[in-house]
Structure 1
């Protein structure tokens, strides 16, 4: 059999709410058995000392805590549906999600894939309690029950397209489910499989059966292979593993807990009783599993037995094992059973054992077997080559093999052979050239469906990372980027160390105000606008810190320097790194700004920023043209170098004057001076004049007398003025060689003051560009009309984004974010990471691999999603839709979906419900009633499908209730209604229109 890897695990068992607690329970030989919780049933009504008259002989068992808690908001399930669902479905949904997360894969990324779901389940007591009350059966009760739905729920909510089935072979159900999952993987039916088991004891029925059959332990405890063994103690729990073909897991760099080498399933057939075990069938299933695994019995270091603690069951199992292991002289095989810690978890027993074996191989130690101190001498374990572990067994280095048995009460037997994971490390995927990625600082990300959920998960991550401070921040960040994604509220924060990250997470979680700065709700598609700064923004050493910290930026600046070098006679890179003040000379300033602009834009593009709009101020348009594919890098480099050189060669004596006035107000004065021109129009009261110094002095004097403020600019030449004319002919010759085409991306030209439409950025364009004014304000206003979501400053300091924002009206500017990758002269990798975090919070899907160096792209298991336990669902009868203006009640008066001590409404959207018109009130009340939401818990912003969990059945009921509340409304058409159901607000608008039309 081709090996199958266990790459993800989650579980919840008595005394162990998660895998870490489960392992701790096993290692300390802990006991998860206790009294029957009051929530389940009145134990006294079903208990008698002798177990006679249809009663159970015990009031104890292994029960999980908070089995009624369910984060229905996370899965967009209405309270009404959640209250009708079998708790086993609810537990499986959360467990499957966390198991997938444990693989290092975001669960939402599996949507649409042929991932399979295989669930072992033995009991369906919820259905027995609810489907027999015929008057209260609803559509939700129907879909909330049934074996098939335990698997189908997972497939539905994760949008998985592979095989999806539930298996009931009694006690062996979940190991048989694992067997089927492995076979589906090896047959190519799926590439990933979730195999799970679940058991929740809702009634004493099975305990009574065990008692009447003489199988029940009076103290509710299984005591496997012990002289004290006197029967079965019931247990419950849920566990899930994620399986992949080993070669695929290794190829994808997924950490592997253990490897399944072989599985086998058979049946007792007609033996010594339907419910009695059969030694020879058990021995045969062991032999088949060993054969498929390609191992000899002597290779198996330990076996997790079925070990229920019944006299007959333990005896037959030992003899079956002994039939294959009796010749292990001096090296007996270790034997144990987790049922001694948990009780018999029935449908979940197989997966409970599987997880124990996988964790034992992973940690390279097998926990001691509870109750092993009083070994049953009648079993003659040593004769059969077996021994019970009275202390943990340290496994030797190298490959280790372990076995697992699970036998069904009806005769279906299963066995699995597991091996320790191969000695390999999860390695980063090959990407760009080695050492050419990374920005020097990690960015930790987290998403959640609500702000409250985000804060809760910040705490969970901080608590776990507190114990793993030695893990590099890059490894933690990269893992979070891949895993904690897909929800509406996005959190991101840079981190240079894991210790600093823990502090930042706790600060954000504990401060009611800070998350607003670090978190955003992603809303719709992003439209980044790249603004390329022009001459005047340069300074010695600009972006040197970023070059030092960020190999990704370094790669692109080196590329630009290489393209410029044949035309500049020296290295722009060395000029910047040495902080040479010569950068202010025009011949160096323009190529240097081009190199920085190109490198920043290329870096952001590599990081996943896809420019929607481009704008360059004067020489900034050269880098913009390269990004827009209107000029190749090499030709743009030749052109900008020639431009700077030719301008530098012009005689000095020109200058520039910034004036706080509109260009039209200055036109008369400029026309009167032939050697002066308008160089730039940056805003309604921001104009730059350029030309002869003497002429500019005359204009400046006139403006001062008129009370108009002006300021001389520190420049070497009069750019964009008539004084540029002597260079135009020589520049045109270079431009003709460079060429230029129509940009492939929208460029808002500051030469034309508008969007270029099928116009090439060719030689004629660039020659005119030297002399003509920079129409920044016109180009920026038109760019803003295109509704950018981000203004990204592509230059060495923030210049254009603030200028652009001043052109915004107040309402228009509310949703536009300004992002500065290089916000100051000391900026480096940390500041670029801040910009990446801001972009992610604003909805940009970052290409995270580019953020990290090769050695950081290694999977690390983070804390799984922390589900809310605020909402409780434990009705002994189905909960119907709430009558108007009431909260749905359970038996005993407890509100469905809430804690008894804190009955609060379920809030899925922000905002408060206020007095509204009859249509709004009618729609909100109908929605609340159909979904069993508390009054005031929903708002017009709530989305019916994504937030409130409505489906077609609920929509039909919603239509009927709205019509009942608004008798003057004509009957609603389902065909017209369905397209209007994206939000409650849309529905209110549609119903209002129909009501007005009827009136």
Structure 2
């Protein structure tokens, strides 16, 4: 068969809350078995060491911690529905999400894809507890139970379109699920597959069964292949793996834990008993698996056995293995079973073994067997070519093969052959950094670490998780951040910060998590992707070595400045780039200043475009319009370079004698004062009280003195010529000839012309435009005002100094909407890669979706396995009986002590995740008794969803935030009609248009009822 890659893993087993802890438990031969938690059942009540009828002979087993914890808000599941769900569904949902993240995939990106879900499950005790009282069965209880829902719920919440099924073959269920997933991948039914298994022991039923069948170990521990073996000990757990065809995983550069070479499944048929193991069938399934994998039995280095620790089961398994391996007496195959650490996890046993084998191949070490010291001599392991490991077995640095068996009580057997991953797919190639410093090398000169979460609390929790785990690793910050940019995305709250090395990053994460104000500065919550405006700075902002540090830091910026320099060089008789980097004061000469500013603006704009930040609006101040026009498609780079070089050179040739004067006054006032003055005119209007005059120097001095007498503040600018004045006339004709040859078309993007002071409307920026551009005043205030009125969410100033940002902030507020967020890739002469990274962080927090690949060099674009999502454990759901309806008094009770139970919530009594701290809530303007409609609606929403009315705020969306679906909407309609007979019958069609939020629904029904006319709602803080 074709080869299948295991690319993602997550699990939770007794004593091991994640895959890292699981591996640690195995390597230290840890014991995850302990007393039955009081939350499950009263072990003493059902215990009898004599195996009396209806009793178990043990009070111990392998149990996971906090199976009642569930982050329902993350998955937009209402408390009432969460309380009705089988904990196995809840555990699988969170485990699947984390496994997909571990595979280096953002789970949201799988939405709509042919991703399959295959779940092995053996028990459904939650259904036994909740579906036996027919009068209390609700829609939520129905969908919250059933084997199929364990898989289907994953497909639903991740919006997966591939096969979705649950399989029960008893103890072999989850390995059979992996077998089906692998075959579906090979058949092309899906391109990704999530395969796993789960088991939660909610009642003592199986413990009693094992005891009565003579299969239960009195101490609750499996002792595989040991002389102390005396039966099964029960265990719990959940595990999922993400599978892909190996060639697809390698093509996408994914890390691979291990490769599934072949799998096989068969059945005992009519053998020596329905529940008895059959040696011959086990021999055959091994043979078929080896055959499908294309391997010889002698090639196998170790096998993870089924290994229940029962006398008959261990004997049959050893003989079946011995049939294939007995000739290996000189070099016996290692044999073990994770059940010695965890107990028999039943429906999750196969996935527990698969993850153990995959991790062993990944770490190139086979963990020891917990009970290997007292080997069962009756099994004659050596004669069968087998041995137990008393210490870890180090694997050679060559491909290693391992087997995995899982046998179902009803006779369905499964075996898998795994191989270590190809060397280049195990771990990413080194980026040449140790994570402690000097490890940038990114395309923009500094890494940008990002993280998203659905709520601020979730964001803070996950920042702490990232900091804690990254502090224990040696990872290059560039590769780490690139991996996070891709995987930790998709949620509303966006965190982004630049970091030069991993140590700085960890410190920054901790500081942000600890300080709400600092966290707010690094976090955005955009509701849509914003329009971005590019503002290009004009002449006067230049200085020696402008952007030189960015050129040094950022290969991306370096590429585009070199590109601009190459286009300019034929027209400038030298290198603009070299002039800038050398710190030559000649950069202030017009012949160099104008092309140099164009090169910087163009390079910055193209850098952002390459990073995926595309402008929706363009504005340039005077010569800044050349870069704006070039990026707007008016003319190609070569044409823009020729035109701007000609402009600067021709202006440089003009005689001296002119100047420019900045005045803090309005244009109308100055126009009146300049009436009759033919040697000075208005050259630039930057703001309501920011005007620049231009003209003959003697006349300017006269005007300056006159304005000073009337207490106008003025400042003479350091310029070589009187730009945008009549003194430019001698060069206009010669420039016009060049402009005619270069031409210029209609902008492909909205350009806000400072010549016309407005947005261009289908008008070409042709030779006539650029010629007029020389003489006409720069109407920046007018152009910028219209741009701001058109509502960009972000405005990026592209130039060596932040000049336009401060001027735009002084312009009157936009006619509609807030001002944009201003972003500065270059802040001052010292700006380098870090400021560019900060700008990219700002843009991302504001809603931009960068092309993160462009931000990193090829060496840094190597996947790293990041700390997985930390779900909230604040909400607890654990009831003995079904979630009751509103009419049913509470008779159910939690397992165990009250401390383990969730608080009651709402009139329906569903176990709630607790209140939402500091959440705005609905408050009626009049006493509740005077507002029967609003009160009834809130109660109905609370009862259907399982919320306290105090948790319901007007802005909360029923579908997206409260977890409502079509079934719940129908129930809500019925409850409202029961309470509000005066409003008449409702239809779902009546409600659908007003279900966008709680406030919309309340207002609609209040308006519909005459007694509630005029009643309003307002917000307060809980």
Scaled to the shorter chain, the TM-score interval is over 0.9
Q: Give 1:332's aligned residue.
A: 332
Shift of 1:671: 3.2
Match of 1:696 in 2: 700
Residue pairs, 1:172-321, within 5 angstroms: 172-321=172-321
Alpha-carbon distance between aligned partners in 1 of 2:913 and 2:476, rounded to the nearest angstrom:
41
The DSSP-based 3-state class of the residue aligned with 2:797 is strand
Output the TM-score relative to the length of structure 2.
Answer: 0.94
> Who is 1:432 aligned against?
none
Structure 1 residue 31 displacement after superposition: 0.7
- Aligned position for 1:795: 799
Partner of 1:443: 448
Q: 1:72 to 1:898 in 2, by over 3 A?
A: farther
Evaluate the alpha carbon distance shift between residue 960 and residue 184 of structure 1 in structure 2; reply closer, same or farther with a 3 A threshold. same
Q: Counterparts of 2:666 and 2:46 in 1: how far apart (Å)?
A: 91
Count of residues paired in the alignment: 992
Would you say 1:931 and 2:951 are equivalent positions? Answer: no
Whole-angstrom distance in 2 between the partners of 1:888 and 1:809: 60
Bigger mean CA deviation after superposition, 924-933 or 764-773: 924-933
Compute the displacement of 1:707 (Å): 2.6
Alignment partner of 1:458 is 2:484: no
Query: C-alpha offsets along residues 565-618 of structure 1, whole Å, 9 cap, x if unaligned?
Result: 111111110011011111111111110110000000000111111111111111
Of 955, 979, 982, the match for 1:941: 955
Q: Deviations over 1:627-655 (max 9, x none)?
A: 11011111011111111111111111111
Q: CA RMSD in A?
A: 2.3
1:993 offset after TM fit, Å?
4.6
For residues 512-911 of structure 1, what are the structure 2 equivalents within 5 Å? 512-809=516-813, 814=818, 816-880=820-884, 897=902, 905-907=914-916, 910-911=919-920
Q: Is the 8 A contact 1:428 1:857 kept in 2?
A: no
Spell out, residue by residue over 1:157-201, the C-alpha distance to the aligned partner (whole angstroms, 9 max, x if none). 111000000000000000000000000000011111000000000
The answer to whether residue 476 in structure 2 is matched with residue 475 in structure 1 is no
| 1:360 matched residue in structure 2 | 360
The offset of 1:912, in angstroms, is 4.8
Change in CA separation of 1:527 and 1:784 when aligned onto 2, cut-off 3 Å: same
For the residues of structure 2 that align with 1:107 and 1:82, how far apart are their CA atoms?
A: 21
Counterpart position of 1:960: 974
The corresponding residue for 1:78 is: 78
1:320-364 deviation line (CA, Å, top 9, x unaligned): 001111111301111111001100000000000000001111111
How far apart are 1:905 and its partner, in Å?
Answer: 3.5
Change (3 A) 1:722 1:889: farther
Equivalent residue number for residue 434 of structure 2 = none
Q: Aligned pair in 2 of structure 1 residues 888, 943: CA closer, same or farther (>3 Å)?
A: farther
Cα distance in 2 for residues equivalent to 1:664 and 1:458: 54
Task: Return 287-296 or 924-933, whichever deviates more.
Answer: 924-933
- Would the alpha carbon gap of residues 964 and 754 (structure 1) be closer, same or farther in structure 2, given more than 3 Å must change? farther
Cα deviation for residue 806 of structure 1 reads 1.8
**Separation of aligned partners in 1, 2:1011 and 2:600:** 61
Report the counterpart of residue 991 of structure 2 in structure 1: 977
| TM-aligned CA distance change 1:808 to 1:201, over 3 Å | farther
User: 1:822-855: per-residue Cα shift (whole Å, max 9, x none)?
Assistant: 0111000011011111111111101101111111
The separation in 1 between residues aligned to 2:784 and 2:890, in whole angstroms, is 54
Q: Is residue 968–residue 998 contact of structure 1 (8 Å, CA) maintained in 2?
A: no
Distance 2:970 2:344 in 1: 44
SS in 2 for 1:220: coil
Q: Deviations over 1:920-952 (max 9, x none)?
A: 554443322221112322312222222111101
Per-residue deviation, residues 483-539 of structure 1 (Å, max 9, x unmatched): 110101111111111111111111111112210111111222211111111111111
1:397 offset after TM fit, Å?
Answer: 1.9
Q: Give the equivalent residue in structure 2 for 1:506.
A: 510
SS of the residue corresponding to residue 224 of structure 1 reads coil
Paired residue secondary structure (1:145): coil
Q: Post-superposition shift, 1:897?
A: 4.8
Say which SS state the counterpart of residue 221 (structure 1) adopts: coil
Q: Distance in 2 between matches of 1:885 and 1:124?
A: 26
Q: Give a deviation string over 1:13-37, Cα, whole Å, max 9, x none.
A: 0011101111111111111111110
- C-alpha change, 1:400 and 1:690, in structure 2 (3 Å) is same
Alpha carbons of 1:770 and 1:805: their partners in 2 closer, same or farther (altered >3 Å)? Answer: same
Change (3 A) 1:549 1:31: same
- Alpha-carbon contact 1:553-1:599 (below 8 Å) kept: yes
The Cα of 1:913 is off from its aligned counterpart by 4.5
Change (3 A) 1:627 1:884: farther
Q: Which residue of 1 aligns with 2:64?
A: 64
- Confirm or deny: 8 A CA contact 1:659 1:687 kept in the other structure: yes
- Deviations, residues 880-930 of structure 1 (Å, cap 9, x unaligned): 356899999868878975599x99743298535545464655444332222
CA contact (8 A) 2:789 2:815 kept: no
Alpha-carbon distance between aligned partners in 1 of 2:876 and 2:395, rounded to the nearest angstrom? 43
Q: Distance in 2 between matches of 1:800 and 1:987?
A: 46
TM-score, L = length of structure 1: 0.96
Are residues 745 and 881 of structure 1, via their aligned partners in 2, closer, same or farther at CA, if it must alter by over 3 Å?
Answer: farther
SS at match of 2:404: strand
Deviation per CA, 1:395-414: give whole Å up to 9, x if none: 12200000000000000000
- Residues 801 and 137 from structure 1, CA distance in 2 versus in 1: closer, same or farther, beyond 3 angstroms? same
Contact 1:908 1:948 in 2 (8 A): no
1-structure distance, mates of 2:722, 2:848: 40
Mapped partners of 2:256, 2:865: distance in 1: 11
Give secondary structure in 1 for the equivalent of 2:659. Answer: strand
CA gap of 1:916–1:238, structure 2 versus 1, over 3 A, is farther
**What residue number does 1:136 align with?**
136
Aligned counterpart, 1:52: 52
Say whether the 8 Å CA contact 2:48–2:55 is kept in structure 1.
yes
Native 8 Å contact 2:879 2:892 kept in 1: no
How many Å separate the matches in 1 of 2:759 and 2:379? 88
User: Could you tell me how far apart the structure 1 residues matched to 2:573 and 2:392 are?
Assistant: 72
Helix, strand or coil at the partner of 2:854? helix
* Deviations, residues 93-132 of structure 1 (Å, cap 9, x unaligned): 0100111110111111111100000000000000010011
Whole-Å separation in 2 of the counterparts to 1:813 and 1:806: 16
- The answer as to whether partners of 1:14 and 1:63 remain within 8 angstroms in 2 is yes
1:312/1:832 CA distance change after superposition, 3 Å: same
- The alpha-carbon distance between structure 1 residues 692 and 976, as it changes in their structure 2 partners (threshold 3 A), is farther
Residue 167 (structure 1) aligns with:
167
Distance 1:43 1:888 in 2: 19
Structure 2 counterpart SS, 1:202:
coil
CA distance in 1, matches of 2:985, 2:62: 54
- Alignment partner of 2:490 out of 476, 486, 492: 486
Mean Cα deviation higher: 913-922 or 564-573: 913-922
Asked if residue 344 in structure 1 is aligned to residue 358 in structure 2, the reply is: no
Distance 1:274 1:660 in 2: 96
Q: What are the Cα deviations for residues 271-308 of structure 1, in whole angstroms up to 9, with x where unaligned?
A: 01100111000000000000000000000011000000
